[in-house]
Amino acid sequence: MIRAVMVMNTQGKPRLAKFYDSQPIDKQQELIRSVFGVLCSRAENVSNFVEADSIFGPDSRIVYKHYATLYFVLVFDSSENELAMLDLIQVLVETLDKCFKNVCELDLVFNYSKIHTILDEIFFGGQVLETSSAEVMKAVEEISKLETASNSITLVPKSVSGWRGR
C-alpha cells in the first residue's frame, strides 16, 4: 500500500502532499519536514531508497527522485515493489510533463486541482490503479472537458442570475 505521495522543492516547501492513512494536519507537516530532512542530507547519485521506519513507523520505506528543483517522494510498505515504485514516480512525472509541456515547479504551484486529478487517477485510496500515463491523460482530459462544460452552461455570471432570480 502507498502511504503517502509528496512533492516538495529543494527548500523543503511542499508542492503536493497526499496521505492515504489519515494523519492529523500537524502530523502531516512534521512528516514532510522530517522526510525533507532526510532527503536534503543525501548526496546525488546515491540509491533512491530510504528506510523510513523512524518517520512513518514500522514497515515503511521511502523512494524518491530528484528532478531539477523538486523531490518526488513515495512512502510505501512491503506490499509494494521498490523498483516498481521508482517506475511509478517516472510515470507520474511523465504524465505531468505531458499535461503541462515541460513541467516545472511553477506548473505544480498553479495547478493544484489538475495535479490532484492526475494523482487520483494513478493512486486510489493507497493502491495503484493505473500505471499507464496515456490512460491517465485520457481520463484527465475527459474530466477537464466535463469541468469546463459544466462551467460554461451558464455563460452569464452567476451573480447576475442570482440577482435576476430575486
Partner 1 sequence: MAGGTSSIMETLFQRTLDDMIKGLRLQLIGESAFVSKALDEIRREVRSTDPSTKSTALQKLSYLASLHFHDMSWAAFHVVEVMSSSRFSYKRIGYHAASLSFNDDTPVLLLITNQLRKDLGSTNEFEVSLALECLSRIATADLARDLTPEIFTLLSTTKLFVRKKAIGVVLRLFAKYPDAVRVCFKRLVENLDSSDPQILSAVVGVFCELASRDPGSYLPLAPEFYRILVDSKNNWVLIKVLKIFAKLAPLEPRLAKRVVEPICDHLRRTGAKSLMFECVRTVVNSFSEYESAVKLAVVKIRELLVDDDPNLKYLGLQALSIVAPKHLWAVLENKEFVIKSLSDGDPNIKTESLRLVMAMVSETNVVEIARVLVNYSLKSDPEFCNEILGSILSTCSRNVYEIIIDFDWYVSLIGEMSRIPHCQKGDEIENQLIDIGMRVQDVRPKLVRVAHDLLIDPALLGNPFLHKILSAAAWVSGEYVEFSRNPFELMQAIFQPRTSLLPLSVMAVYIHSAFKVLIFCLHCYILPRESITSSCPENLVLGVSESVLKREMPEDSGLIRTTCEALPVQGDKGFNRRASNQSSEDFSVENGGDRTINHGQTSTPNFSEKSSFTYESIVNLINLVELAMGPFMGSHDVEVLERARNLLCFIEVIKGEITECLEHKEKKKESEEMKASEIIKLMSDAFSEELGPVSLSAQKRVPIPEGLELKESLDDLGTICADIQVPPSNDSNLFSLGSPYNGEEVGVSASDLESKEESEPSNEATALLTDHRKRHGLYYLPSEKNEIVPNDYPAANDPKLRDNLNNDTEDLVKLTEQSLVTNKKPNHAKPRPVVVKLDERDVVTITAKRPEPNDDLLSGAVREVLLGSDTRTTTSQHNPPDKASSKRKGKERLNVNPSSKLKEDLGDSEKPDHESPNSRRSKHRTHGKERRQKSPSKPAEERESNGQKGKQKSSHRHARHKARERADAPLNAVLQTPVIPDFLL
Among 43, 68, 155, 156, binds partner 1 (CB under 8 A): 43
SS3 for 140-154 is: HHHHHHHHHHHHHCC
H-run or E-run covering 165? helix 158-165
Regarding 159 and contact with partner 1 (CB under 8 A), the answer is yes
Regarding 15 and contact with partner 1 (CB under 8 A), the answer is yes
Regarding 116 and contact with partner 1 (CB under 8 A), the answer is yes
Among the candidate windows 16-24, 68-76, 94-102, which touches partner 1 by CB under 8 A?
A: 16-24
Of 71, 28, 27, 67, the residue nearest 50 (C-alpha): 71
In the complex, minimum distance from the CB of residue 36 to partner 1, in angstroms, rounded to a whole number: 14
Of 63, 107, 112, 109, the residue nearest 88 (C-alpha): 63
What is the DSSP annotation of 28-50?
HHHHHHHHHHHHHTSPTTS-SEE
**Interacting residue ranges for partner 1, rule: CB under 8 A:** 1, 14-18, 20, 22, 25-26, 28-29, 42-43, 45-51, 78-79, 81-84, 86-87, 109-110, 112-113, 116, 120, 124-131, 135, 139, 142-143, 146-147, 149-151, 153, 157-159, 162-163, 166
